[in-house]
Amino acid sequence: MAKEEEKRKIRYAMLVDLRRCVGCQSCSVACKSENEVPLSKFRTWVKIIEKGRYPDVSRQFLPALCNNCENPICNRNCPVHATYIRPDGIVMVNMHRCIGCMYCMASCPYDVRYVNPLRKIVQKCFWCAHRVDAGLLPACVETCLGRALIFGDINDPNSEISQVLATNAVVRLKPELGTDPHVFYIAADADAMDPTKGIDIDKIRFMEPY
């Protein structure tokens, strides 16, 4: 019994407090720097929109990153188990296993995966698992200017993320798909969360997959 309690399951999650986000993109660049993300690809970035009519206009931000879902479709659909889920909930891609079929990318409802054009494997945000294992926070969380990003163990009632989650209304992206995403947003703007708002869907430029 003692052992069990000691091994209380950790479930990491990310919380984005958009009241504190300033849209500075330092998370985007921190991630590029930390994980050697090549040009043209992003693991995390901040979507910035402007909404309203002059003079009642506001800017809204939405940092996007892998949701490290509890029931990820990418994991379900990966034919070779290259995508796997760590016990602490982080969804990982095994670089030696990945065959680059890109089916996980097509499956991901958040479009946060990409093929690394240099290494030709699929990569994505994994909450800097190498840093987390060393007891550090993910690079984006560390550098966030407004401390809008909170990362931690939601199974630990004393963690900051648990406390903030307990006292604030949060939303998630596309929870209706049953993926159980683990990136929570406080005060996210509905229009920023809507991928089809504010763009001409017929004129979007798409990138080559790699």
Partner 1 sequence: MDVGSQVTVLYNSPHQIPLGLLIAQYFYLTGLSAGSFVISVVAILGRKVEYKPLGKIGAILAPLCLILAPMNLLSDMAQPLRFWHLMTYLPGYINFKSPITYGVILLTAYPISATIYAYFVLTGNMKWSKVFAIIGIPLAISVHGYTGFILALGKGRALWNTALMPTLFIVSAMVSGIAMMILIAIVRNMFFMKDKTVEEREKDRQLILGLGKFLGGAIIADLFLLFNDILVLLTSSKEAWETAHLLLWGKFAFEFIGVELFFGSIIPLFLVFYPKTAKTFKWLSIASVLVMIGIYAMRFTVVVGGQSVPLH
Partner 2 sequence: MKITRRGLLKIGAISTSAITIGRGFNLFANAMELLPGGKEVSRTTGKFLKPIPSTCLNCYARCGNFGFVAYGGLIKIGPNPEHPNSRGRMCAKGQAGVNLLYDPDRVMHPLKRVGPRGEGKWKRITWEEAYITVVQKLRQLKAAGKEDEFVFQSDRDITTQDICRRFCYAYGTPNALVNHSPGGWNKRIAQMLTWGADFEIPDVANTEYILIFGSNPFEAHYMRTSFVQRIVEARGLRTEARLVKPKARLIVFDPRLTQTSGRADEWHPIKPGTDGAVALAMASVIMNEGLYDREFIGRWCNYPADKLARYLKKFTPEWAQKISGVPASDIKRIAKEFAATNPATTVSTGGVTKHQNSVYTERCVALLNAVTGNVDVKGGYCLPRSYEFAEPDPIPPVPQRRSELAHPVDFPLASYEVPQRVIPMIKEGRAKVSFYMTYQYNPAYSHPEGHEISRMLKDEDLIPFHVVIDSVYSETAALADMILPAATYTERLELESPPAFDMIPFVSLRQPFINPLGESVAITDLLIELAHRIGGGMERYFNFDTKGYLEHRITHIDGLKKAGGLSYLKENGLWYDKDAQPSFRTYEKKGFDTPSKKFEIYSERMAKYGFNPLPTYEPIQQHLTMKEDELFLITYQWSVHTHDRTANCMWLSEIVHENQVFINAETARLRGIEDGDMVEVISKAGSIKTKARVVQGIHPNVVAIGDSCGHWEYGRIAQAKAFESDVTTTKLLWWTEKGVTPNPIISIISDPIGGGEGWMDTKVRIKKI
Partner 3 sequence: MDGYKGEDKEDMMESTENTARARAYEILAGFFSNEPTREMFDFLNEAISCSIEDTIEGIEVDFATMFIVPGNGLQPFESLYNRAPDEEPSLWGKATKDVAGFYRAYGVHIDESTGILPDHISVELGFMGHLIEREDNNAQRRFLEEHLLKWIPEFCDRVYSKANTDFYKGVSKLTKEFILSEYEAIKGEAR
- Token duo for residue 112: 């946060």
Q: Does 97 bind partner 3 (CB under 8 A)?
A: no
- DSSP code at position 144: -
CB 26 within 8 A of CB 141: no
Alpha-carbon Rg for the chain in angstroms: 17
Q: Does 126 bind partner 3 (CB under 8 A)?
A: yes
> Smallest distance, Å, CB 1 to partner 1?
30
> Smallest distance, Å, CB 138 to partner 2?
8
Closest CA to 12 of 112, 73, 87: 87
The conformational region for residue 94 under phi > 0 = left, psi -120 to 50 = alpha, else beta, is beta
Closest CA to 138 of 22, 23, 35: 35
Q: Which does 5 bind (CB under 5 to 8 A by kind): partner 2, partner 1, partner 3, none?
A: partner 2
Q: Which is nearer to partner 2, 73 or 150 (CB)?
A: 150
Q: Does 129 bind partner 3 (CB under 8 A)?
A: yes
In the complex, the residues that contact partner 1 under the rule CB under 8 A are 25, 40, 42, 45-53, 57, 59, 64, 73, 76-82, 97-103, 105-112, 114-115, 120-122, 174, 177-179, 191, 194-199, 201-202, 204-210
The continuous run of DSSP H or E covering 2 comes out as: helix 2-6
Residues 81 and 161: their CA atoms lie apart, in Å, by 30
Stretch that binds partner 3, among 67-75, 90-98, 144-152, 199-207 (CB under 8 A): 90-98
- With CB under 8 A as the contact rule, the residue among 130, 147, 177, 199 that binds partner 3 is 130
Contacts with partner 3 by CB under 8 A lie at: 84, 86, 92-95, 123, 126, 129-130, 133, 135
